Structure 1
Amino acid sequence: MTKAPVETWEAAIAAVAGGLSERKAAKAYGISRGPFHQRINGLVPLEARQGPQLVYITEGADRGVVEMVRYRALHGMCVGYEELRSMLRVAAETAGTRPLADDFPNDKFTQRWLVKHPGLSSRTAQLLDVDRASASTADVVLHYFNNLQSVMKTLALLDKPNRIWNCDETGICPQGRGRRAKECHRFTFSRV
């Protein structure tokens, strides 16, 4: 039998309430007798889908998690994978539709949740040390500080050091203080 809309279930239940037998109502409306019996007795909600009912997070809690992820992303605080898992666990505990396993949500559930919400994207971790080292040339650093100085002048921050916060990464650079090496013999090098 095919998937039936909620209206079909309601009409069949109304027919049974009107005196028709469950078997005849199921046959008349083209629905399976087992799921129909479960819906009549209130064991399964009318809008339940076929298959296992593994609903851990209600629609409202689900929307809340999506809203929280988007809010944090708009404010520059992207959610990490483990943090997303903990948010999903809290939402499932709050909803309390089913008892949770100790490892809930596992990777499979989290990946399926991300697929269910295509508006959210996840980034793979990358090693940025190489890119930072190649991008922090003398010209780039000089341009940055010249730009910073002009911005500080326009905002009148040069004489107010208590309003300047160190929020950049100029102090974290993998290049370090390298020295020039002078070539000695054929296979050896000496630091100057």
Structure 2
Amino acid sequence: MLIAEGCPGYFDDNGRANTRQPGLGLDELFGVLESAVEFMPDIGNEIAFTMDDCFVRGGLYRQVYEVTIGNARGTYADGTCAVVENTYGKGRTLLVGSFPSVGYFDSDGAENPEYFRKVLMWSGIEPHVAVSNPVVTARLHKSADHLYLWALNTSAHNQKVAIRISPAHGTFNTAKVKWGSFDGQFVDNTLDVEIPAEDGLVLQLGS
């Protein structure tokens, strides 16, 4: 599986732009040809596209594609192709014509978190822990004997959140509070909780 952002293989070994884009044979891999490209780092924050009804902020480059054997998955505002998926051999590829990572970085994470969730879903990868509220940060920590959930709310307001633990870690229906307050239950490895402002929750998970 390969996921690539804009203009892969654009230059050859001598620093010259390849006449066929994507270059270095990647056009066959991704199932597209470039139809237009703009290098615009100074106004890259104006680049945006839609993928599966999700608005995505790009950056740096705006590469437009003509689909050959792939499938279009996203478009720019003018309707031109921005995202293409393809099957190559036993693998899958996803080519994105701009840089959502730049949009995410420039906005301090405010832009594009839903895009990255969709890409994870597309790839078939389930997060170890997922939250319904992006203000809350959740992590799993594993000791020799137990699995712990840490959930932090660094904002100035109480935050309600649904937290889901991947079934890959097991099935959970009990939790022992190590920090904070929680008197609920797990349903399908998901718990609903409200975390006070500038506080956290630490749970020892049990089955």
The interval holding the TM-score normalised by the smaller chain is: under 0.3
Higher relative contact order (CA 8 A, sep 6+): 2
Structure ID, larger Rg? 1
TM-score (norm 1): 0.23
TM-score (norm 2): 0.22
> Which is richer in strand?
2
> Which is richer in helix?
1
